[in-house]
Amino acid sequence: MLKRLSGLDEFRARLADAPGPDLSARAGAADRNRELTKPPGALGRLEDLAIWYAGWRGSARPDIRAPQILVFAGNHGVCARGVSAFPPEVTEQMVANFRARGAAINQLAALAGAQMDIHALELDRPTDDFTQGPAMSDADCLAALNAGWEAVDPGADLLVAGEMGIGNTTAAAAICHALLGGEAGDWTGRGTGVDDAGLAIKTRVVAEGVARHRDGLRDGLDVLARLGGREIAATAGAIGAARQLRIPVLLDGFICCSAALCLLRTEAAALDHALAGHESAETGHAALLQALGKKPLLALGLRLGEGSGAALAIQILRGALACHSHMATFAEAGVSTG
């Protein structure tokens, strides 16, 4: 486990001095890729994925044996404004469902053979309504970041960070609007399924929140504290910790990517160890992925969160590595080169 962060500035420093990939492992993987029994480039993007993963793991011929899925849960004061189709109690009820293995992510985690850890973050103490003041104090934001930072298993070889938090598509939309501009409506979607009236309220709430905090936002971490939520901050902490440990990350949907955006807008290279697992159907996710510079591995119309799209994408990455690390070379198989 990584040592607890002492403050948001220490987190900023750790993002700034984070390790890069192992360039010799990456070059070794690129060499191996050229020798495998297939026409050059015939495995398309799978080839790039394998070389990318090899660099981060420091091995020219790696496998994924120990994926970890983290699910962070938090509650949101902004729910009082009527921004979700479901009541806030559902956050805690779904945590119980995760623990009883009844949720979608449990099934996908089991299929991936992934370790799944659930972290409920002070559910009885929702964040404050960000239209009235900061969602979190710096101290609360740091505590949530640390929950994510300490949750990453140093023995994991791939990380997926999922979330559960009724109201969190509103927080994520506010983060995007604050950091990427445009209109509030560009980033505000139906989440769990608000109707047209609910969507209008939600869009107004996002606009109000961003207008209230526009001054005094230095970087992505300020936005995270003022407009985010505990599970979003924990996701940011986990992505940052994975980087320290050279554990590659598959990003999930709109909420997870809003946490990632806060990191990117704090340190430009902060997401080099992360890929986009999928493109969610939630409004704004496609544009958010563009802003992150990430092309999704899957686009299946999911709009669930929990880490579900990224959990599915584990198998794509595994497919890339199965071919890369276990195919025969032309020399081994006695196949003539072109």
Ligand X SMILES: Cc1cc2ncn([C@H]3O[C@H](COP(=O)(O)O)[C@@H](O)[C@H]3O)c2cc1C
Catalytic residues, which ones? 306
At position 332, the amino acid (one-letter code) is: E
192 belongs to the binding site for ligand X (CB under 6 A): yes
In this structure, the strands spanning 274-276 and 249-251 are: parallel
Residue list 97-156, contact with ligand X (CB under 6 A): none
294 belongs to the binding site for ligand NIO (CB under 6 A): no
Minimal distance, residue 121 CB to ligand X, in Å: 13
The residue number with the shortest CB distance to ligand NIO is 253
163 belongs to the binding site for ligand X (CB under 6 A): yes
Q: Where are the beta strands (DSSP E) in the chain?
A: 67-73, 115-120, 158-164, 249-251, 274-276
253: partner contacted, choices ligand X, ligand NIO, none (Cβ within 5-8 A by kind): ligand NIO
Please pick, from the candidates 191, 248, 284, 296, the single residue that binds ligand X as defined by CB under 6 A: 191
In this structure, the strands spanning 158-164 and 249-251 are: parallel
11 belongs to the binding site for ligand NIO (CB under 6 A): no
166: partner contacted, choices ligand X, ligand NIO, none (Cβ within 5-8 A by kind): ligand X
∠ CA 18-21-23 to the nearest 5 degrees? Answer: 135
Largest CA distance in the chain: 70
Residue list 188-217, contact with ligand NIO (CB under 6 A): 191-192
Residue list 230-259, contact with ligand NIO (CB under 6 A): 252-255
282 belongs to the binding site for ligand NIO (CB under 6 A): yes
Contact 73, 305 (CB under 8 A): no
Please pick, from the candidates 164, 232, 236, 314, the single residue that binds ligand X as defined by CB under 6 A: 164
Q: Helix, strand, coil: what percent of the chain each, to 5?
A: 50, 10, 40
Q: What is the CA radius of gyration of the chain?
A: 20
246: partner contacted, choices ligand X, ligand NIO, none (Cβ within 5-8 A by kind): none
- CA distances, 142 to each of 146, 232, 256 (Å): 6, 12, 17
Which residue ranges make up the site for ligand NIO (CB under 6 A)? Answer: 169, 191-192, 252-255, 280, 282, 285, 303-305
